Structure 1
Amino acid sequence: MTSQPKAVPLVAPGHTRPVTHLSFSPLQDDGTYLLVSSCKDGNPMLREWTGDWIGTFLGHKGAVWSTKLSPDTSRAVSGSADFTAKVWDTYSGEALCSFPHNHIVRTVAISPALSHIVTGGQEKIVRIFNLGRPDADPDLLCDTGTTAHNGTVKSVVWIGDHTPASAGEDGVLKWWDIRTRKQVASLSFPGPITSMEYSAPTSRLVVTSGKSVAFIPALPTAAPTHSLTLSYQPSSASLHPIRQDRFVTGSMNDEWVRIHSIDGEERDVLKGHHGPVHCVEFSPDGEIYASGSGTIRLWQTTPGKTYGLWQGTASGS
């Protein structure tokens, strides 16, 4: 009987403190993509699709909680505990803009047209900065008063050029229109939202809250939300972008990376980290997924397959 190849991760070294966030770029015309990582060491890192280091963005003076790439990978935006969000040129590594805040910036995203960034954090405010007018005051997205959420804003994403979405510790997911600066829809969860991923290929948001993982239409529609309750509290979750038949999770309560089928059945438990797994994400081609703890580990969706730095030499289990 032939045994299944064992999952052997690649370790992407370089960070010196816990990795707080991971984000892949979309698939590029040449079939490659990039990976950007955030870390409490304050130095976001850019990597090739193979995991090879490209460069480090130097300039933050505190932990970096979120970094994301533009669709064409020419820009990166980061949010930090130094009360700033920065926009970077990924070719030169230079900071192009730095936007001050009044508290820790926990989450950032750049619009598909590279025209705006959206930020959120411990001020409970969602801000929109116009990159064409970087010295102008930001627009504030709010319903009433001056805050967007009744708790820390944990994640923001762009869904098209005019629709950012924000998720907070108040357990509310909100969609906004930057043209009117108003909320257009919302969805409440019974507990704080811990992570949100925008899966562009599947047109879904993947949201974790308590022990639940919810797969939500990216734009507010009448389409149903698929929600699962797990036996543990996931720190983050990511949906396979092609097959849509599985998702990966991390957890703050153990050191494992788990693979579940879309109905919630646990398919695999992967061990290799030596601390809580803060973040996970599938690559845009679905061939690998990355997990962040004290290190970054890259795992193959199909162990043993020749891909990137894996040469098909994984040993059997």
Structure 2
Amino acid sequence: MLSTTSSSRVIPLTCSGHTRPVVDIHFSPKTSDGQYYLISACKDGNPMFRAGMTGDWIGTFVGHKGAVWSARLTKEAHRAVTGSADFTAKVWDTFSGEILHSFSHEHIVRAVDFSKDGTKIVTGGKEQRLRIFDLYRPEAPPLEAQAHTGLIKAVVWDEKTHSVMSAGEDSTIRIWDLRTMRETAKIECEAPVSTMTMSNDEEYVMWAAGKTANFLHTDGRPEDVKTYKTEMNLSSVSLHPDHTKFVAGSDADLWVRIFGFENGEELEVYKGHHGPIHTVSYSPDGDMYATGSEDGTIRLWQTTPTKSYGLWQRDANDVQE
């Protein structure tokens, strides 16, 4: 059932600047000063850093020599990490834009993430190998683990369970103990995993695989995955902070869809992009979500279109036409 809010009455804010498809976006948590930020990874090789609430451009990280596939921010958004087709993962100072560390790999780096305290990063990619680098000892050999039989497309650092999760084209999610780097469990999926992320409140790990949206509570067991089947191939999913709904994008059409988390019912459908949607993410306060597309743009969508928020300043009864 479609929402009573027509798609023609909801106009997202458009963040331009990229010149090729946007393949990954990530909101920081709210920082100690009450702000939050957005980073985007793009095939143009130039990840961008923005104010989260407005989408205003702050800076571009210049230094990669290939497509950037993944980007993450630390809790305080003072550092960024990016993974690229130039066989490197780079750590950046978000205030100066300078490269603090560049870690060489033997092939394309498709996935990166920070530890919760921002002192380590995990990477994965074409080598099918997981690596953990210590930013306090950047010259030290990384911890490594290997079991995937296909490209690693996503990694998630789960501090609560002292583990790292990796997912990819072998349709398997593997869970690794951080203390031993041994595989402790795995989750078989019905299709290759396209994206996997941690919810901003760190309560759920979520991933898209084929026509399914999947959610695992960080206190749960691998067999406790909550799965919703849809009618379309999903590229990315993101859970609202209040756990009542989730947003999903598809690489098969141009629509943004909102589903109920309790039963998977389709609640809202909107169109704004001119190309398939590769990545979606709710803001940490849940008042909006961002989408990144093949069309090279990021769009910011208001969760409650009648609410004054960020650049959506309006009278209580005013809805964008």
**Under a length normalisation based on structure 2, what TM-score does the superposition of the two structures give?**
0.92
Secondary structure of 1:284 counterpart: coil
- Which residue in 1 is equivalent to 2:280? 280
Compared CA separation, residues 183 and 12, structure 1 to 2 (3 A)? same
Secondary structure of 2:224 counterpart: coil
Tell me the amino acid that sits aligned with residue 253 of structure 1. Answer: A
- Which residue in 1 is equivalent to 2:35? 32
- Among residues 128, 133, 137, which one is paired with 1:133 in the alignment? 137
- Which residue in 1 is equivalent to 2:191? 191
**Under a length normalisation based on structure 1, what TM-score does the superposition of the two structures give?**
0.93
Q: Distance in 1 between matches of 2:27 and 2:254?
A: 22
Deviations 1:107-141 (A, max 9, x none): 00011122211000011111111111111221112
Count of matched residue positions in the alignment of Structure 1 and Structure 2:
309
Tell me the amino acid that sits aligned with residue 258 of structure 1. Answer: R
- Among residues 11, 18, 40, which one is paired with 2:21 in the alignment? 18
Q: Distance in 2 between matches of 1:226 and 1:194?
A: 17
- Among residues 84, 87, 93, which one is paired with 2:91 in the alignment? 87
Q: Distance in 2 between matches of 1:217 and 1:223?
A: 11
8 Å Cα contact 1:4-1:316 kept in structure 2:
no
Compared CA separation, residues 219 and 95, structure 1 to 2 (3 A)? farther
- Which residue in 2 is equivalent to 1:290? 290
- Which residue in 1 is equivalent to 2:206? 206
- Which residue in 1 is equivalent to 2:158? 159
Once structures 1 and 2 are overlaid, which stretch shifts more, 85-94 or 213-222?
213-222
Q: How far did 1:83 drift?
A: 0.4
Tell me the amino acid that sits aligned with residue 47 of structure 2. Answer: P
Q: Distance in 1 between matches of 2:156 and 2:195?
A: 11
Q: Percent identity?
A: 51
Secondary structure of 2:201 counterpart: helix
* 2:177 aligned with 1:177: yes
- Which residue in 2 is equivalent to 1:62? 66
Q: Distance in 2 between matches of 1:148 and 1:64?
A: 24
Tell me the amino acid that sits aligned with residue 111 of structure 2. Answer: T
Tell me the amino acid that sits aligned with residue 100 of structure 1. Answer: S
Deviations 1:215-245 (A, max 9, x none): 112255377321110010110000001x211
8 Å Cα contact 1:255-1:271 kept in structure 2:
yes
Q: Distance in 1 between matches of 2:149 and 2:218?
A: 22
- Among residues 67, 77, 80, which one is paired with 2:81 in the alignment? 77
Let me know the Cα RMSD of the aligned residues: 1.7
Compared CA separation, residues 179 and 222, structure 1 to 2 (3 A)? closer
Q: Distance in 2 between matches of 1:158 and 1:132?
A: 18
- Among residues 294, 299, 302, which one is paired with 2:301 in the alignment? 299
Q: How far did 1:200 drift?
A: 4.2
Q: Distance in 2 between matches of 1:234 and 1:156?
A: 18
8 Å Cα contact 1:159-1:219 kept in structure 2:
no
8 Å Cα contact 1:198-1:218 kept in structure 2:
no
- Which residue in 1 is equivalent to 2:101? 97
Q: Distance in 1 between matches of 2:81 and 2:220?
A: 26
Q: How does 1:191-270 map to 2 (within 5 A)?
A: 191-201=191-201, 203-219=203-219, 221=221, 224-241=224-241, 243-262=242-261, 263-270=263-270
8 Å Cα contact 2:187-2:222 kept in structure 1:
no
8 Å Cα contact 1:202-1:244 kept in structure 2:
no
Tell me the amino acid that sits aligned with residue 303 of structure 1. Answer: P
Tell me the amino acid that sits aligned with residue 301 of structure 1. Answer: T
- Which residue in 2 is equivalent to 1:144? none
Compared CA separation, residues 128 and 219, structure 1 to 2 (3 A)? farther
Residue segments in structure 1 that go unaligned for 5+ positions in a row = 142-146
Compared CA separation, residues 227 and 33, structure 1 to 2 (3 A)? same
